[in-house]
């Protein structure tokens, strides 16, 4: 640990790290408590304090140790778990089951998630309507709020959304960290183009059928959120597909490869987020003068965003989600967070500080509600 | 040129910061503004179509929606008409429907709520049968399959 701290070029002193944490401390306090903590429910107050303290500690450690990915991943994985917990408990409370029925569809009561967005685009343009049985505004996970959250985050962070915002990404990120070393090392990185093929397929099939086909037939996260009631052969086949894809791409393959295989090989929104990397100001850069071509960064990249050719060419590919894993392992501080237009090697601390601030503010406020709810429910369960 | 690139990059990065800082306080207003755009309504294939007319019955109201044939570019060959019974529903419902209001009955719906049994008797060639019959928070909804004329 001591050695890591010495070689890491982004490490700050205790006082400086505190100073850098102060703005996040104030902003998260205002957003989590509404400026006025509610003292009437002790379990909620404790949940709020634990979430608030935990998040600020993680941000402090990012500055104090100079490491990004380790602390980002903790929050990202907790977000995924707590969101699924909140969603499932809400759904079970509403319907006494994790599955939704025809009545929920007829009454347009299905919670919306950002993975539907690619399929909405063509029908919205031609039919002036949204092909999803959810609520346009108001209620739990309404369409308007979810679209705004994704849109703003994607403009600001590009594919950074996939490591700092998506409440599904934490699942395969978590499973990819279970083993210390991968069992399966050789996977062709041409599979990373698969989400683009799937994106095209689901956009076209959704346009033709006016049904969000990815949600209806493919989405592996149905296994940890909600799915159609199994009432006939078709719904049984669908449930089988969701569970197999979750087991294969979100659990098994990430464990044996240490890669985020669902995000790399399947998610159609990941493909759109990849394209949005073209507009975001933040990027990851390679300083050719410092790089010794040890390729440690290419081995750890969980999203196949960094090949040896990329390193030799001195640039990170458009698939990068700015998770910071490569930045953390580079022994020469050659790979770093950067800003487009600013040459590699310059303003590295400034770029990292600004990127961390923007992305951490997003994930902390976005995730706070579900984390607080989860801790509160656990506390209530323990007390009762 | 290099300096201009650096300055514009940094300005864009600060704008990204502003985007995230205004996102959460402004989320409600941005969402309301988005929800008012013309395409922000649920497609009738899910929402069931606009109400066409209603029959006020003893303790409930039957709302007949406009038939839905919506496709991407043009109308589809097959669609449905949605009927909503709202209010205090009797256990057994039997209604004769003229959904296109041409003066001729199109089908009869027989619904036994307790057994969740719904039978459609078509009286017109345009009616293909029962698509959906479910209890709802406001009463009961039935969708009856239709062919386009
Ligand atoms: S690839 Fe898809 S599931 Fe993975 S983090 Fe990105 S949007 Fe989420
Ligand atoms: S290139 Fe680096 S920052 Fe980008 S996804 Fe790969 S490991 Fe993460």
What pTM did the predictor assign? 0.93
Residue with the two structure tokens 């959250």:
A149
According to the model, what pLDDT value does residue A155 have? 97
Residue A344 C-beta-side C-alpha neighbours within 13 Å: 18
Backbone angles phi, psi at A211, to 5 degrees: -130, 135
Same domain, B21 and B55: no
Number of structural domains found in chain B: 2
From chain B residues 72-91, the ones with a CB under 8 A of any chain A CB are 72-73
B44 or A38: which carries more pLDDT confidence?
Answer: B44
Q: Where are the beta strands (DSSP E) in chain A?
A: 99-100, 227-228, 282-286, 335-339
Position A211 confidence tier, pLDDT thresholds 50, 70, 90: very high
According to the model, what pLDDT value does residue B56 have? 94
Q: Are A341 and B137 a contacting pair at CB < 8 A?
A: no
**A182: exposed, middle or buried (Cβ count in 10 Å: 0-12, 13-18, 19+):** middle
Same domain, B104 and B60: yes
Same domain, B16 and B75: no
Same domain, B23 and B86: no
Same domain, B72 and B48: yes
ipTM: 0.92
Cα–Cα distance between B110 and B120 in angstroms, integer? 6
Position B75 confidence tier, pLDDT thresholds 50, 70, 90: very high
Distances (CA, A) of A174 to A57, A159, A192, A327: 20, 18, 20, 19
According to the model, what pLDDT value does residue A324 have? 97
Residue with the two structure tokens 């951490």:
A360
Q: Are A129 and B39 a contacting pair at CB < 8 A?
A: yes
Max CA-CA distance within chain A? 62
Question: What are the tens digits of pLDDT across the range A183-200?
Answer: 998 888 899 999 999 999
User: Helix (H, G, I), strand (E, B), or coil: what is residue B119?
Assistant: strand
According to the model, what pLDDT value does residue A99 have? 79
Q: How far is the CA of A334 from the centre of ligand 2 (A)?
A: 13
Asked if B114 has any chain A CB less than 8 Å from its own CB, the reply is no
Question: What are the tens digits of pLDDT across the range A20-57?
Answer: 999 999 999 999 987 777 788 899 999 999 999 999 99
Domains assigned to chain A? 1-97+347-384 (no CATH), 105-279 (no CATH), 282-339 (3.30.70.20)
* pLDDT over 50 at A235, yes or no: yes
According to the model, what pLDDT value does residue A311 have? 97
**A177: exposed, middle or buried (Cβ count in 10 Å: 0-12, 13-18, 19+):** middle
According to the model, what pLDDT value does residue A7 have? 53
* pLDDT over 90 at A164, yes or no: yes
DSSP character for A330?
Answer: -
Non-local (6+) Cβ contacts of B38 within 8 A are A128
Report the share of chain A in percent with pLDDT over 70. 98
The structure tokens listed for A287 are: 């300083």
According to the model, what pLDDT value does residue A229 have? 77
Of A169, A218, A222, A271, best ligand 1 pocket probe by most atoms within 8 Å of the beta carbon: A169
Q: How far is the CA of B84 from the centre of ligand 1 (A)?
A: 39
Distance from CA of B72 to the nearest CA of A (A): 6
Q: Give contacts of A124 with chain B, Cβ < 8 Å.
A: 39
Same domain, B84 and B31: no
Question: Domain range spanning residue B22?
Answer: 2-35
According to the model, what pLDDT value does residue B67 have? 97
What number of residues does chain A have? 384
When scoring B2, B13, B63, B73 by the number of chain A Cβ atoms within 10 A, the one with the most, hence best to mutate, is: B13
Helix (H) or strand (E) holding B10: helix B2-35
Cα–Cα distance between A123 and A141 in angstroms, integer? 21
Cα–Cα distance between B15 and B13 in angstroms, integer? 5
* Residue of A128, A384, A114, A132 whose CA lies nearest to A271: A114
- Give the residue-averaged pLDDT of A66-73: 97
């Amino acid at each position: 640990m001591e050695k890591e701290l010495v070689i890491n070029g982004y490490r700050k002193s205790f006082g400086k790290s505190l100073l850098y944490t102060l703005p996040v401390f104030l902003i998260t306090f205002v957003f989590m408590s509404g400026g006025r903590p509610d003292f009437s429910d002790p379990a909620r107050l404790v949940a709020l304090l634990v979430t608030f303290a935990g998040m600020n500690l993680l941000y402090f450690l990012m500055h104090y140790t100079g490491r990004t990915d380790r602390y980002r991943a903790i929050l990202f994985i907790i977000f995924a778990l707590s969101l699924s917990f909140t969603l499932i408990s809400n759904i079970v409370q509403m319907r006494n089951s994790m599955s939704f029925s025809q009545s929920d569809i007829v009454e347009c009561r299905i919670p919306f998630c950002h993975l539907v967005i690619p399929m909405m685009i063509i029908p919205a343009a031609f039919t002036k309507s949204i092909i999803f049985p959810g609520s346009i505004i108001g209620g739990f996970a309404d369409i308007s709020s979810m679209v705004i959250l994704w849109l703003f985050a994607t403009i600001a962070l590009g594919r950074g959304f996939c490591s700092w915002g998506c409440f599904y990404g934490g699942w395969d990120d978590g499973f990819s960290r279970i083993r210390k070393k991968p069992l399966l090392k050789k996977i062709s990185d041409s599979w990373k183009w698969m989400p683009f093929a799937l994106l095209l397929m689901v956009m076209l099939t959704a346009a033709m059928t006016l049904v969000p086909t990815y949600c209806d037939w493919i989405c592996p996260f149905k296994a940890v959120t909600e799915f159609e009631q199994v009432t006939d052969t078709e719904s049984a086949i669908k449930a089988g597909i969701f569970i197999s894809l979750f087991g294969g791409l979100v659990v098994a393959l990430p464990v044996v490869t240490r890669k985020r295989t669902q995000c790399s090989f399947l998610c159609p929104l990941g493909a759109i987020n990849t394209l949005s990397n073209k507009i975001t100001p933040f990027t990851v850069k390679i300083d050719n003068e410092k790089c010794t071509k040890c390729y440690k960064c290419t081995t750890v990249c969980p999203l196949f965003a960094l090949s040896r050719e990329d390193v030799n060419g001195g640039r990170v590919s458009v698939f990068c989600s700015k998770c910071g894993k490569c930045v953390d392992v580079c022994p020469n501080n050659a790979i770093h967070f950067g800003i487009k237009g600013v040459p590699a090697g310059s303003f590295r601390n400034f770029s990292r500080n600004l990127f961390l601030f923007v992305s951490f503010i997003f994930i902390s406020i976005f995730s706070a509600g579900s984390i607080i709810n989860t801790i509160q429910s656990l506390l209530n369960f323990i007390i009762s | 040129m290099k300096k201009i690139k650096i300055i514009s990059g940094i300005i864009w990065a600060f704008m990204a910061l502003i985007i995230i800082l205004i996102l959460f306080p402004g989320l409600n207003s941005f969402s309301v503004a988005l929800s008012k755009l013309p395409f922000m309504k649920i497609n009738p294939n899910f929402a069931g179509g606009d109400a066409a007319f209603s029959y006020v019955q003893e303790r409930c109201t039957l709302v007949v929606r406009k038939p839905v044939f919506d496709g991407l570019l043009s109308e589809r060959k097959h669609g449905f008409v949605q009927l909503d019974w709202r209010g205090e529903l009797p256990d057994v419902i039997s209604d004769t429907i003229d959904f296109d209001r041409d003066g001729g009955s199109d089908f009869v719906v027989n619904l036994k709520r307790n057994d969740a049994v719904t039978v459609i008797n078509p009286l017109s060639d345009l009616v293909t049968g029962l698509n959906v019959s479910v209890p709802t928070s406001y009463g009961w909804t039935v969708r009856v399959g239709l062919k386009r004329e």
